[in-house]
Structure 1
Amino acid sequence: MLLLIIVTLLWAFSFSLIGVYLAGQVDSYFSVLTRVLLATLVFLPFLNWRTPPRTAITLMAIGAIQLGLMYLFYYQSFLLLSVPEVLLFTIFTPVYIALIYNLLARRLSLRNSLWNLLVAAIAVAGAAIIRWDSLSDDYWLGFFVVQGANLCFASGQVAYRQFMQSSAVRGKSLPPRQTFGWFFIGASIVAAIAWLLLGKPQYPTGVVQWSVLLWLGAVASGIGYFLWNKGATQVSPATLAAMNNVLIPAGLIVNLLIWNRDADLPRLIAGGLLIVAAVALSEWRNKHP
C-alpha cells in the first residue's frame, strides 16, 4: 500500500495545476497528448520490444482506456467544473472498482463481493462529507464527464491488476518496467487521434505552462501511473477502491494551502478520517480473514 500512498501525495498537486494553469488556457487535447507522450518517453528506454504480442496488445488496450480515454474526459471536466467539484465527483470511482472487479472475478463469494462494496461505500461516504455545497450551472454535464473518466480509470486499474496477476500465475510475466511502455503507447494512440480530430491551435504560451505539462507528463503520469498500477497488484480490491478516494482530501488540502481556495476544514477532516478508516478496515480484514 506504500506505493499507493506515495502516488497519492504525488497526484495531489495535479488537480490544482490543471485547473489553475491549463484549463481554458491550453487546448485540452494537446495537453493530454503532450502528457502521455512525455510519459511514453520515460519508459521507452526500458521497453522490451520482444514482448509477446498478446501482452503488448493487452497493455496497449488497458493504457488506451485507463489513461488515454480517461484523460480526454478528465481534462474536459475542468472546462465545466471547479477543481473542488472535479474532486467531489471522483468519489464514485471506488464503487466502480468494486463492481467491475466483482463482475470479472466470478469466483468471489457473495460475502467477499459485499465486503468490497462495503469498504468502497465507506470511502464514498467519507468523500461525500468533505464537500457537497453549491455547484456550477454545468453540474450535470460535468458530472457525467467525470463519471466517464472514473469508469475508464476504474476499469483500467482492475484490468491491469487481473492481467498481471494471471500472467504471474502462468509464469509468463516480464518485469513491469520492461512492458509498461506499451501501456503509454496505447494511451498515446488514443490521444493523438483525438487531437488530430478535435484539437484547437491553443498551445502553452509561457515557461510556467510548459513546466506544468513537463511535470504532469514525466512525473505525475510517467512515474505515477507505473507505481500506482504496480501498487494495485499488491493490495486487495477493497483497499484499492478505498485508496482512490484518498486523493480527494489530499487534492483539496493542496488546493487550499497553495491556491487559497475555500474549503470547509471540519468536513475535510471528518471525511478524510472516514476514508482512512475504510483503508484501515480493509487492511485489518486482510490480516484477520
Structure 2
Amino acid sequence: MWYLLAVSILWGFSFGLVKSEFSDLSGATLACTRLLIALPCFIPFLKRPYLRWTQPNIRLIFTGAVQYGLMYVALFNAFTWLTGYEVALLTIFTPLYVVLAHAVVKRQLPPGWFWWTSILAVMGALWIFQPQAIPAKWPGILLMQLANLCFASGQIAWRQIRAKQPTARDTDGYALLYLGGVLAALPFALLQNPVHELAQLSGSQWGALLYLGAIASGLGFFLWNAGAARVNPATLAVFNNLKIPVAILISINLFREQANLASLLPGLAILLIALGWAEWASRRQATKSS
C-alpha cells in the first residue's frame, strides 16, 4: 500500500509539469518519448530468461502495450474532444474497471465489498470535482473509458503475472512492459512529426521531460504495479482515485493552483473511508480463511 501512496504523491508533481511545460507538444509524442526514456532505465535489470521469445515474455510485452501504450494513446487523443477538466473527471471510473477486470480474470463474481468500496471511491472523486453536465462528446468519452479499461486491465494482468512467478523479482522482466508500451505508442507518435516537435523544446523542457520519463513514467509505473501486486484488488481500485486529491493538494501547495477545499476535503474523507473499508474487509476475509 505504501508503494501506491508514494506513487500518488510522485504523480501529483507530474500533473503540474505537464500542464506548465508541454502544452504545445502533441500527446502521442509526449507519451512515446516518456516511455522511450523509461525503457533503458530497466534494461540493466533484464534477466536472461526474459530475452527469449516465450509466451510469458510475450504476455509481459502485451501487458505493457495495453496498460501503457494504448492507455496513453487513448488518453491523449481524448483531448481532441474534451477539456482537461473533463478528461480528469472521466478517469474516476477506473476503480470499477479494476474490479471488473479482476472478475474476468478470476472468472467469478468478486465479493460484494469489492464493488461497494469501488463505488464509494467513485462517489468520493465525484464529490471532489462537483461536476457539471458534460456535453455528449462521445468520441472523447469513449476514448477515456478505453484508457481507463487499459490501465485497469494492465494492473490486474500484472498481478496475475506476479502470482505465477513468485520467485522472480519485480524488476527482472519489467523492461518488457515498457517495450510493449513503446511499440504500441510509436505508430501514433510518428504521425505527429515527433522529430520536429522535440527539436523545438528548450533545455528546461528537456529536463522536465527526462524527469517525466525516468521518474514519473519509469519509477512511477513500476512502483504502482509493484504495489498493485501487494494489495487486494479492492484497495487497488480505491487507490486509482485516491491519487486525485493527493495531486490536487500538491498542486495547491507547490504550483499555487486554486481548488475548492469545501469539496476536496469531504471527497478525500469518502475515499479514505473506502480505503479503510477495503483493508478491513480484506483482513477479515483472510482471518476467516486461516
Q: TM-score, normalised by structure 2?
A: 0.89
- Write the deviation string for residues 195-218 of structure 1: whole angstroms up to 9, x where unpaired: 224445323421222122111100
Which position in structure 2 is the counterpart of 1:148? 146
Matches of residues 151-162 of structure 1 in structure 2 within 5 Å? 151-162=149-160
Residues 1:274 and 2:270 are matched in the alignment: yes
Q: Report SS of the residue matched to 2:197.
A: coil
Moved more, 247-256 or 91-100: 247-256
Gap change, CA 1:37 and 1:155, over 3 Å in 2:
same
Residues 1:175 and 2:174 are matched in the alignment: no
Equivalent position amino acid for 1:28 in 2: G
8 Å contact kept, 1:94–1:124: yes
8 Å contact kept, 1:27–1:199: no
Give the superposition deviation at 1:190. 1.3
Q: In structure 1, what is the Cα distance between the partners aligned to 2:15 and 2:83?
A: 10
Give the superposition deviation at 1:19. 2.4
Q: Report SS of the residue matched to 2:173.
A: helix
How many residue pairs are counted as aligned between the two chains?
281
Residues 1:41 and 2:30 are matched in the alignment: no
Residue in structure 2 matching 1:217, options 193, 213, 230 = 213
Q: TM-score, normalised by structure 1?
A: 0.89
- Write the deviation string for residues 39-61 of structure 1: whole angstroms up to 9, x where unpaired: 10110111113325222111100
Gap change, CA 1:199 and 1:99, over 3 Å in 2:
farther
Residues 1:21 and 2:17 are matched in the alignment: no
Which position in structure 2 is the counterpart of 1:191? 185
Residues 1:236 and 2:232 are matched in the alignment: yes
Gap change, CA 1:255 and 1:82, over 3 Å in 2:
farther
Q: In structure 2, what is the Cα distance between the partners aligned to 1:265 and 1:135?
A: 21
Cα-Cα RMSD: 2.1
Which position in structure 2 is the counterpart of 1:7? 7
Give the superposition deviation at 1:141. 4.2
Which position in structure 2 is the counterpart of 1:165? 163
Q: In structure 2, what is the Cα distance between the partners aligned to 1:256 and 1:150?
A: 25
Q: Which runs of 4+ in 1 moved over 6 A?
A: 135-138
Q: Report SS of the residue matched to 1:262.
A: coil
Q: Report SS of the residue matched to 1:50.
A: helix
Equivalent position amino acid for 1:37 in 2: L
Residue in structure 2 matching 1:247, options 218, 243, 263 = 243
Moved more, 145-154 or 228-237: 145-154
Give the superposition deviation at 1:159. 0.8
8 Å contact kept, 2:26–2:192: no
